[in-house]
Amino acid sequence: MKNTIITIDLATSVFELAIATPQYRITQRRRLDRDAFRQFIHEQEPALLVMEACGS
- The whole-number pLDDT of residue 3 equals 76
Per-residue pLDDT of the chain (56 residues; tens, 9 = 90+): 477 999 999 888 899 999 999 999 999 999 999 999 999 999 999 999 999 877 66
- The whole-number pLDDT of residue 28 equals 96
Whether residue 31 contacts residue 11, with contact meaning beta carbons closer than 8 Å, is answered with: no
CB half-sphere exposure, 38, CA atoms < 13 A: 3
CA distances from 17 to 1, 20, 41, 56 (A): 19, 10, 11, 20
- The whole-number pLDDT of residue 32 equals 97
- The whole-number pLDDT of residue 42 equals 96
- The whole-number pLDDT of residue 56 equals 64
Considering the domain 5-52 in this protein, what is its CATH number? Answer: 3.30.420.300
- The whole-number pLDDT of residue 24 equals 92
Whether residue 19 contacts residue 28, with contact meaning beta carbons closer than 8 Å, is answered with: yes
